[in-house]
Amino acid sequence: MRFLIGIAGLPCVAVDAVQAKSPARFTGAKDNPPIARAISAPYAYRNGMSEFYLNQFAKRLEQIAPKEEVGIGLVYAKHEKTFERFVHAFYPFAVTAPFDPCYPETWEKDRRRAELARFEERLIDVVRRVRERILLMRDVLSGQNFSPLTLPLRNFRSDTLGPNILAIFEQLGTSDAAREMVERSRDAILERHPLRRLTDGGNRRYFEDDRQLRFKSPGHDNHGVAHVVGDGHRPECLMNGRARLGAPIKAGFHYDCEYERRRVDSFYPNCHDAHVAPTNKTYVNISPSDAVR
């Protein structure tokens, strides 16, 4: 699996130190450096700062074959009062985790090299934790993208799905009992939207949302909903088509959606909130990213 790792909120001297180290310390591959950009005092996340990371993630992802698994993570300096909005830009496709900011200008001159080295090791530990959480999520999904944890957030109508996915996103990178937390949220979704099976002889599995739209397993029919950026698609559209909560999603995976006895709706919001009319009146394909076909 290829890890895409962003590191945010670092001063220039710390970014230089990260870039001087082998990328393998952060991503596990020498040819895959982490994405980092320096910020200056006063240290805070300003409007638009997330766009750099989203665009860089998308550029990297466009170069990775759809069949290759990708895990996405972001570690960030917890600059007070400004980090929450910045971090939410990576919901729900990434695992995120904070680290205590470093302020090299406050270090004594004769201690700066040692302080920087200690900070680098703490940073590497946080990145390692994020990569472990990505692997945990991949293990929870067990290679099966048909899961309550991959249901499309715009189109699966539920007062339970969104809050539980958000709870995982907010806690996954820091919880000491991450697997148990993920499983509790998964089970809460399943309690409200249990896994069902059709009784028409096909025996296909499905989840049903609050308007009774059935999100069925496509079986082996994965006919592609991943996109490159452009034609209305933003970087987030691409990332949400390849990962959920850090873990890889098969690029062509989607849900076959239909009602039991009536036509599907005339339009559905897609991955960037455009209204898209289904190509068929009796069913619609919707991916975890909310790409609609």
Condensed to tens digits (0 to 9), the pLDDT of residues 38-82 reads 999 889 999 999 999 999 999 999 999 988 999 999 999 999 888
pLDDT at 190 over 90: yes
pLDDT value of position 201: 63
**Would you say the C-alpha torsion 47, 152, 159, 95 has a positive or negative sign?**
negative
Highest mean pLDDT among 162-171, 199-208, 272-281: 162-171
Mean pLDDT of 236-249: 95
Task: Give me the domains of the chain, ranges plus CATH numbers.
Answer: 2-141 (3.40.50), 148-222+249-286 (no CATH)
CA–CA gap between residue 33 and residue 19 (Å, rounded): 8
Give the residue among 121, 72, 66 at the shortest CA–CA distance from 96: 72
Beta bridge partners, 77, equal 99
Count of positions (residues) in the chain: 293
pLDDT value of position 220: 65
Give the residue among 73, 104, 105, 107 at the shortest CA–CA distance from 90: 73
Give the residue among 99, 165, 101, 161 at the shortest CA–CA distance from 130: 99
- Tokens representing 85 are 């909005």
pLDDT value of position 167: 98
Task: Let me know if 49 is exposed, middle or buried by CB neighbors in 10 A (0-12, 13-18, 19+).
Answer: middle
Buried b vs exposed e over 152-188: b needs ≥16 C-beta within 10 Å? bbbbbebebbbebbeebbeebbeeeebeeebeebbeb
CA–CA gap between residue 242 and residue 94 (Å, rounded): 10
CA dihedral 23, 28, 32, 35 (to 10 degrees): -70
- Tokens representing 293 are 């076909």
Give the residue among 239, 189, 236, 219 at the shortest CA–CA distance from 285: 219
The residues, any chain, with a CB within 8 Å of residue 101's CB and separated by 6 or more, are: 9, 43, 77, 78, 79
CA–CA gap between residue 92 and residue 153 (Å, rounded): 9
CA–CA gap between residue 92 and residue 103 (Å, rounded): 30
Task: Report the predicted TM-score, pTM, of the whole model to 2 decimal places.
Answer: 0.94
197 contacts 205 by C-beta, under 8 angstroms = yes
